Each structure stands twice: as C-alpha cells, then as structure tokens.
Amino acid sequence: MSIDVSIILSLASFIISVYVLWTTQLAKFRLDVASTARVELTTNPQSLGAKQAGIKMQLLFTNKGANLGYVHDVAIAISKNGTKPKEIILLRSLFESLDETLNLTNQLPPPKLVAFSSFPVRPLETVIKNIVFVPNDSNIDFKFEMGTYTLTPYTKGLKSKEKWRKWDSLDVDINSEDIRMLGQTLVTPMVGGGQFVKWLLQSKPTNYAENALKELLSQISRKK
C-alpha cells in the first residue's frame, strides 16, 4: 500500500510546528537547584558582636525549561539532629559573595559582599550563587554546637501566589575545631557607632561528600 508523500511531509511539518511552539511559547520555566559538596560556617556580621551564626553555601540554579524565569528569594531551614523537640531555624539570604579567589596569605582581604537580590535564569542556563545565610530573626541566640545539622534550601519565584519550593537536604557534621575557629571572630567598635568584623569562614564538606569519598576508597581497595 503506497503512502502519499505529501501526507507524510504535512504530518512531519505539523509535528515540527508543535515542537517549536512548545519549546518557544508553552514550555514553562523549570527550575532545578543543587548544592555543592561543601558549606562554610561563619557568623552574621550584622549581629551584635557578630555572635549569631550564619552559613555560606554555593547553590546551582538550572533552568531546564525553554522560557526565562526568575528566582526571587532563597532561604534555608536548619535543624540539629537528635534534639527534642526538633527546633528549626529559618535562615534568610543576606549577602552574595563575589570573591571566590583562593588566598593563602596570613592577612585575608575583606570579602566582596553585595546585598542578595532576585536574579534571572535563562533557558538551559545554570547560574552559580555563593550566598550568605543568616537567621531571619536577629534576636535569636543561634550558635553552632557539636553535632549533625540538616540544611534544606527553599526558593520562591516572582509571583505573589507562588509557594516556596523545597529542595534536597544535606547534612553537615560540626566538631569542636569548627566551634573554636568561629570563636576567633574579632569585633572592633568603630568611632561614631557600628562595628568592624574580622569575618571568618570555616569550610566543611557535606556528609554526602564524605561518604562518597569513603565509597571510592573502598572501591579502590577491592580492586587491589
């Protein structure tokens, strides 16, 4: 049975037209958020005496859709495992760090920080943001203690009715050395008010990254 070539061409043209329409007009903004293998423990430089804890995280924002979209805000819910009742602290995005150069000198330069603001993500684009998160309530006496903490990122779009979206959580173990290092944060009162903070960052691998390395070591050992 012969098939009319014109029918095949028309069908192919229709399928291509539908595909083009979908990718250019109908495909929505599809955001995916992933965290990297490390986080950095720090303090909130705007808190009294820089005593309040904070976290710096590198997050990857990927738009898997075909239309431009915006990330209006980012937040983190943090909780310490094993505590009853389980207390959840909400951390808001305060700064974005622009300086990611490695400095091996004794005297560290002041960090390049700008106020966090909403940003666009183009189709099939990945945007990397180094965000400093601090407690939403400046009156909370939030300090790191020894133990395992769970961090869960959330994002919100520009639309007012859009709900916060939850992303994969990650765990980080905090030990006595981390607490000792953060305790060395120096705060100097300034003439006329305000304070100068010697901002410290304590880099930590996530538990997922640590376990992945252990699996690799075990895999290598089995092949010997």
pLDDT, tens digit, for every residue of 168-216?
999 999 999 988 888 877 666 665 666 566 667 788 888 988 888 888 8
**pLDDT tens-place string over residues 142-154:** 888 999 999 999 9
Domain residues for the domain of 141 are 29-212
Contact 184, 95 (CB under 8 A): no
For residue 76, tell me if it sits in a domain: yes
What residue type is assigned to position 211 of the chain? Answer: N
Give the chain's domain count.
1
State residue 198's pLDDT score: 64
For residue 224, tell me if it sits in a domain: no
Of 35, 51, 41, 93, the residue nearest 209 (C-alpha)? 35
For residue 68, tell me if it sits in a domain: yes
The residues with which 197 forms a beta bridge, in sequence order, are: 187
State residue 1's pLDDT score: 45
For residue 15, tell me if it sits in a domain: no
For residue 2, tell me if it sits in a domain: no
3-state secondary structure 76-111: EEEEECCCCCCCEEEEEEEEEECCCCCCCCCCCCCC
State residue 101's pLDDT score: 55
75 versus 27: the higher-pLDDT residue is 75
41 versus 102: the higher-pLDDT residue is 41
Contact 171, 147 (CB under 8 A): no
For residue 135, tell me if it sits in a domain: yes
